[in-house]
Amino acid sequence: MAYIGKEPIVGNFQVCDAISVVNGQAAYTLQVSSTNVVPESANHMLVSLNGILQAPVTSFTVSSSTLTFASNLATGDVIDFVILLGNVLDLGTVSDNTIATAKIQDDAITLAKMASGTDGNIISYDASGNPVAIATGSDGQVLTSTGAGSPPAFEALSAGKILQVVEGDLSTKFETNNSSSHQATGLDVDITCSATSSKVFVLTSFQARSTDTNQAHFTIYRDSTNLAGGDVHFVSINSAGGNFNCGVTMQCLDSPSSTSALTYQVYCYHASGGGAYAVLNDSAIAAKITVFEIGA
């Protein structure tokens, strides 16, 4: 607000209760509405005695609520008024909703000056653009968008989201001529799922070779369980009387229902035995097995 002339000084102006002079007494208690008051200092007071304004410090002093004149007053003296000015250098109490953004210095608001909140909350904005606290989520939840006009929220992972990916490899050759059971090839990978409801997608890629006329069979195990089922295989290759090389890929979706450490591994065997062999990674080309944990 603009003013003509000097801008008014803001203070806490109070007129003290009337004080009766006591003969031979210099000290008097200051009260407003019968309650003791404490001036800022003698220089923040107007004191009139017998119609004459008194000089602060020289003619009177003040200590706490006690006004003391330089000499004892006598019968007939009149204390006309005592006015307290407050601290005239202060702005006083600021009215509500009067401080605009421009009046606040940049970087002046510290964390200590912010209102207390709840541990883990995040500050966002609502549809009106006002700040709002996002409630603390639970362990394993993620912060997701809830759409335009609504603050984000902590929510459980939706079904089908990939939670982790782990890869294993084998750079050496493996071969077997066992004709009775699957053999572990060493192409394996370990994973620990974050929830029993998770599924595990297994993907393998490697070079394979079969000798003799019978087939080389390949499958995927989870620990001691054949994921193809029983003695069934995911892939079989036939050498047709000689050597047959090819690239092999296998994949399957497993539901382990476990949060313990799991090992997924390629197994194989050759149906003929004797001098015939099933070979994995014959040319020492890197073989891969990759597992993906998928949220339920």
What residues does each domain of the chain span?
14-84, 163-294
Phi, psi of 111, deg, nearest 5: -60, -35
Residues pairing with 222 in the sheet:
225, 264
Tens digit of pLDDT per residue, the chain (296 long)? 555 655 555 567 899 999 999 999 999 999 999 999 999 899 999 999 999 999 999 999 999 999 999 999 999 999 999 999 877 655 556 667 778 888 888 888 888 888 888 888 888 888 888 888 888 888 778 888 888 888 888 887 666 788 999 999 998 888 888 777 888 999 999 999 999 999 999 999 998 888 766 778 899 999 999 999 988 899 888 766 667 778 889 999 999 999 999 999 999 888 765 566 778 877 767 799 999 999 87
With residue 49 as reference, give the H or E element that holds it: strand 45-49
Give residue for tokens 């036939």.
238
CATH of domain 163-294: 2.60.120.1340
Residues pairing with 218 in the sheet:
235, 268
Q: Which two tokens stand for residue 142?
A: 């993620």
Q: How far apart are CA 177 and CA 279, in angstroms?
A: 9
Query: Which pLDDT score is estimated for 157?
Result: 66
CA angle centred on 284, ends 246 and 184, rounded to 5°: 80
Strands 199-210 and 244-254: antiparallel
Q: How far apart are CA 15 and CA 17, in angstroms?
A: 7
Question: In this structure, how many other beta carbons lie within 10 angstroms of the beta carbon of residue 155?
Answer: 14
Closest to 9 (Cα-Cα) out of 100, 87, 99, 84: 87
Q: How far apart are CA 95 and CA 172, in angstroms?
A: 81
Give residue for tokens 């497993």.
254
Q: Is 269 helix (H, G, I), strand (E, B) or coil?
A: strand
User: Helix, strand, coil: what percent of the chain each, to 5?
Assistant: 5, 45, 55
Q: Is 116 helix (H, G, I), strand (E, B) or coil?
A: coil
> Are 210 and 243 a contacting pair, CB within 8 Å?
yes
Residues in the chain: 296
